[in-house]
Structure formats: C-alpha cells, structure tokens
Structure 1
Amino acid sequence: MTTAAAQEQTAEEALLRSIRIPPRPSLLVDLQAELGRDDPSPRMIARIIANDVGMSGALLKLANSPFYGAARKAKSVEQAINFLGITNCAALLTGLLARQAIDGNETALNQFWDVSARRALALVFISRRLRLAPPDIAHTFGLFCDIGIPILLNRFSDYQATLDMASGSVSHSFTKVEDVRHSTNHAAIGCLLARNWGLSPDVSWAILHHHDYSVLADDATDDAIRSLVAGSVLAERAIQRYHGNPESLEWQKGGELACRHLGMSEDEAADLLDELHETFHIEH
C-alpha cells in the first residue's frame, strides 16, 4: 500500500469513528437469540417484547393496521405473533427499535419515518406480487434503506444541503454527491448499522447498493440483492407519485434496468404502480 493510500484509509477510519452508529438494542439481541433457536417460541418472544410496554403497544397497533391486520384483531402480543408469524413480527419490532434508537429533530424524523414506513409497505407489496423476497426481508430493507440519512444529519451541519443537491442531481448518483462532499454516504452508513445490528446479509448488501443501479446488470451480484434494489426503484417512484410528483429522478436513472431485471414491461410496471398507489390511499 502506498503512503497516500494508507493516509486515505486512515482518514476514512477516523471519519467512521466520528459518526455515531446506534448500538444494537438489548431487546433486539434477546429477540435474535430466540429466533436463532431451532424452534423459536412465540410465547418466549412475547415475554421479551412485553418487557417494553411502548414496544408492545406499538407492535399491536402495527399488527392490527389495515395492511398487516387479519380479519381477527390481535388483543395481545402473543396473538399478534401467532396471527402474523414470528419473522414478520420480528421485522416490525426491529423497525420500531430503529425509530427509538435514532436521534434528531422530531419533526424531521417523523417525516423520515413516515416515508420509510411507506417504502417498507411498498416493498412488501412488490415482493409478494413478484415473489422477490420474504415479506420480513422486504419490510426490513424498506425501513432501513435510508437509515444513514438521519445519522449523517447529526454528524454534518451541512448535510441537508448535500441531500438537496443529491436529490436534484441528474448526472450523478445520489451517493456520489455524498461521497464528494463528505467522503461517505448514507448507503454505506446504513449497511454498517445493518451489519452491527445483525440484520440479514441480503438486507445490508441491498442497502449498500440501493443507489448503484449498475449492480442490476451485474450477474456477479446475488440475485436476491439485485431484486431488492430493483424493487426499491419501483417503491421510490410510487412514493414520489403519492406525494404529487409525477416523475422520479431515481426512476429515470434506474427504472429501465430495474424492469429488465424483474422481467417487466413498461406497461406491467405502470399497472403495478397503479395498484400500489391505491394501496397507499387505503392505508392512509
């Protein structure tokens, strides 16, 4: 390694040490330990969750929402687990713990989590329809996709300006703009958090590549990761449409590659987005 390369690596390591990555919550550690058993117990998982009254109430509210709720309403955490399944409840709880762990401006964070929740909903819908990934993986990826953004907002005073530039850049990828200004980007930070929290490798790698649309045409990249990235491009277009923006820059950059990877025509993608738009309004 050259002296210049060594200095650059040292600077990158110092930068990462200066960025506070929230530690994995102890409740998540306990939950993952139970999920790692050969035969996870819904009753034991319910006991773990019951140790946090706020988490219990929030999980029940999500489980009984129109999108996740069944014909029967869960009256306890254990019922929610039995109705929805262990993995789906674990994914919902992981998202709730992330929301609890991230610091920042309350108003801005509420908006961020609203968009993240909508992205998670969209990716579950798309994954079920196209059989891209298990619902819990799709949901977790959707929630954690942009988790690096509030972390970097806390680290860099001018990061909001970076977001504005990256969101409006036609010629450069979102993460390229971040890299130029801060020597890191929200996808890299999100991947780091996902690994530290013990999330699925598919989730962490998809987070890392979700603005790198070249991977969609790269056969060396695992198909599960490429499918999640492709789904995120569809989800982003749906979210932009829901917010009244008929166009999406991310769709312009990666839409064609995403559809090609998913084996969808432009008309099929449009039909799917129409259905997703209706789902957003039902959930709202």
Structure 2
Amino acid sequence: MDTRHSPASHKEKPAADAVENRMKIAVRDIGIPPRPTILSQIEQEAAKDEPDFLHLARLLCQDVGLSAGIIKVANSPFFSFRKKIPTVQEALLVLGLKLVVNTIAGLALRQTFQHVPNMERFWDASAATAETSAMLVREIGGDLGLRPADAHTFALFRDCGIPMLMIPFPEYREILASANQEASRPFTAVEDEAIGLNHALVGAELAEDWLLQRDTCLAIRHHHDRAVLDGEHDVSLRARRLIAIAQLAEYLIQQRTAQSQTSEWQKLGSACLACLDLREDDLPALAEACLPPTAT
C-alpha cells in the first residue's frame, strides 16, 4: 500500500527534518574549511569572454601542488595525449578551462585535508573515479544531460565528508570499514548510528560553502540513498544521474582492480543502471572503453 501521503508519513517528514537540522548544527560545530582564495581567482579569470591563459598559468604556478597536480592529470592514461604535457599552460590548452577549473577544485580539496594522515589511497581512488566518470559520460553520450567535467567534479567531491570526520572521530575508520561491508542497510545509516553524522551530509555542507552547483550538492547529499535513485524524492534527474555515473565508475574500477571492495553496487547497482538506461551486459564494453589497462 502506498503510504507516502498518509498522516503518518506527514509526521515522519518533520521528524526527519529535525534530525537533519541537528546534524547540520553538528557539522558547523566541527567546522567547514573555507573555500580557497585561488579557486575564486581562477574561476573569475576563466569566466571572462576571453580568458588570459598566461595569467591563469601564472596563478596556478604560484601553488606548486596545484600546478604539479594539473600536469599529472593532463598526463594521466585516461586522456592518452600523443605527447607528454610538460607545462601548466599546455595542460590548460589540452584539457580545456572547464575541466581544469573542476580539477583545481578537487586538488584544492585534497590540500585542505593534507593534515589528515593515511589518506593517499582515498584521494587516488577519488581521482580514478572522477576520471572514469568523465569517460563514461563521453562514451554513453549526450542523452544523459551531463557534461564530463560536471561528472568529474561530483566524483571528486562525492566523499569529501570522509576526511572531515576523520579528525573529530578517531574511531571513524572502523565505522567506514563496517559501512563498506553492510549488505542491506544504507551506508549512511551505519554512520548515523555510530556518531550521529554521516559523510554525505557533511560533504554536501562543504560543497554548498564552496559554491558547487546545486545538483552536485544534492547528489553528494543523497549518493547512498536508493529511494532517490529510484525517483521517489524530489531530486532532479541530473543529480540522480551524477550519483549513478560515479557509482558505476567505482564499480567498474573495483571489478578491474579487485581493490577497495564495498557492498554499494549490490544495494544500488540496479537503480543506477535504470537511471542511466543501461543493462548489465553493457558494462564489459563500457569498462573496455573507459578504463585504462592499468587502472588502480
């Protein structure tokens, strides 16, 4: 029986809203890192009718970590350019402004949490998921209503709440391990039960403070929510497809590498495929087209 409009369900929504509001207060108590100034400077230049690539390159070169990161991305196997890209200016030209700006946001995010120990594998996995997400959007085509750069940004920021929760909650790594193996309950339910917060809500708050697009923020907030993927809530199709693309990218990487296994595809996979108008037997060809031979 459909009870979505019953009196009981009307009572449940205010209760759920109250819980979320308490969580948001707790997030503010933890503290959200401010948006890096260099990100605003680069976005302002990139938004001009005729951006000055030399000025952009100079801005990036002021930060050794960002400039090295952009060059590393340009030379990654996902792009397979015919020659090595040696400079920031060349990276700007071959990657395009939109992808560069989004990549810088992800690199700045990593720098913001460089004080959190033992996170190298996490950041590498986020980068691989982002690159694969962008490739999937290119391969599947324009019917999705997504741009590769937007899928890339979402995947970079999707789990940004995880490093935010590492410092105030020393037990959080163990909580993540339990959530990764949870076969039936939502990932975030395990976090909520243990600490009264979850990385999806925390990450969405950071994304809003960093001025990411609304659909990206919504997708971060709901990326473990099966009901959202099924279209049962007022979340845009675009946001749902961002969630589905990144989840598919993560799953393909896990299948290729046999690393960082989780139960998320078991819980969300069929909804992701439906959201993307794909079938299970489409996946081998997508993996072949979108994953480099050495994906890690």
- TM-score category, normalised to shorter length: 0.7 to 0.9
> Contact 1:123/1:235 (CA < 8 Å) preserved in 2?
yes
Report the residue type matching 1:188 in the other structure.
L
Of stretches 8-17 and 82-91 in structure 1, the one that deviates more from structure 2 is: 8-17
2:92 aligned with 1:81 = yes
CA distance in structure 2 between the aligned counterparts of 1:248 and 1:11, rounded to whole angstroms: 29
Post-superposition Cα deviations, 1:39-73, rounded to whole Å, max 9, x if no partner, equal: 43323322221222332222112212222352243
Q: How does 1:91-102 map to 2 (within 5 A)?
A: 91-102=102-113
**Paired residue for 1:162?**
175
**Paired residue for 2:293?**
281
CA distance in structure 1 between the aligned counterparts of 2:289 and 2:236, rounded to whole angstroms: 28
CA distance in structure 2 between the aligned counterparts of 1:54 and 1:223, rounded to whole angstroms: 35
Q: How does 1:207-246 map to 2 (within 5 A)?
A: 207-218=220-231, 220-244=234-258
Counterpart secondary structure, 1:32: helix
CA distance in structure 1 between the aligned counterparts of 2:171 and 2:106, rounded to whole angstroms: 27
How has the CA–CA distance of structure 1 residues 274 and 81 changed in structure 2, closer, same or farther, with 3 Å as cutoff? closer
Greater fraction helix = 1
> Contact 1:242/1:280 (CA < 8 Å) preserved in 2?
no
Of stretches 169-178 and 217-226 in structure 1, the one that deviates more from structure 2 is: 217-226
CA distance in structure 1 between the aligned counterparts of 2:193 and 2:98, rounded to whole angstroms: 38
The structure, 1 or 2, with the larger RCO (C-alpha pairs under 8 Å, 6+ apart) is 2
Post-superposition Cα deviations, 1:112-158, rounded to whole Å, max 9, x if no partner, equal: 11111111122112111113421211111111111111111112122
CA distance in structure 2 between the aligned counterparts of 1:123 and 1:76, rounded to whole angstroms: 25
2:148 aligned with 1:135 = yes
**Paired residue for 1:24?**
35
How many matched pairs? Answer: 278
Give how far 1:21 is off. 1.9
Q: TM-score, normalised by structure 2?
A: 0.84
Give how far 1:13 is off. 4.8
Q: How does 1:1-284 map to 2 (within 5 A)?
A: 11-106=22-117, 108-131=118-141, 132=144, 133-218=146-231, 220-244=234-258, 248-276=262-290, 279-283=291-295
Q: TM-score, normalised by structure 1?
A: 0.88
Q: Unpaired runs of 5+ in structure 2? A: 1-14
How has the CA–CA distance of structure 1 residues 164 and 223 changed in structure 2, closer, same or farther, with 3 Å as cutoff? same
How has the CA–CA distance of structure 1 residues 8 and 268 changed in structure 2, closer, same or farther, with 3 Å as cutoff? closer
Give how far 1:5 is off. 9.8
CA distance in structure 1 between the aligned counterparts of 2:264 and 2:16, rounded to whole angstroms: 32
CA distance in structure 1 between the aligned counterparts of 2:187 and 2:112, rounded to whole angstroms: 25
Over the aligned positions, Cα root-mean-square deviation in angstroms equals 2.6
> Contact 1:175/1:211 (CA < 8 Å) preserved in 2?
yes
How has the CA–CA distance of structure 1 residues 267 and 205 changed in structure 2, closer, same or farther, with 3 Å as cutoff? same
> Contact 1:216/1:258 (CA < 8 Å) preserved in 2?
yes
Counterpart secondary structure, 2:34: coil
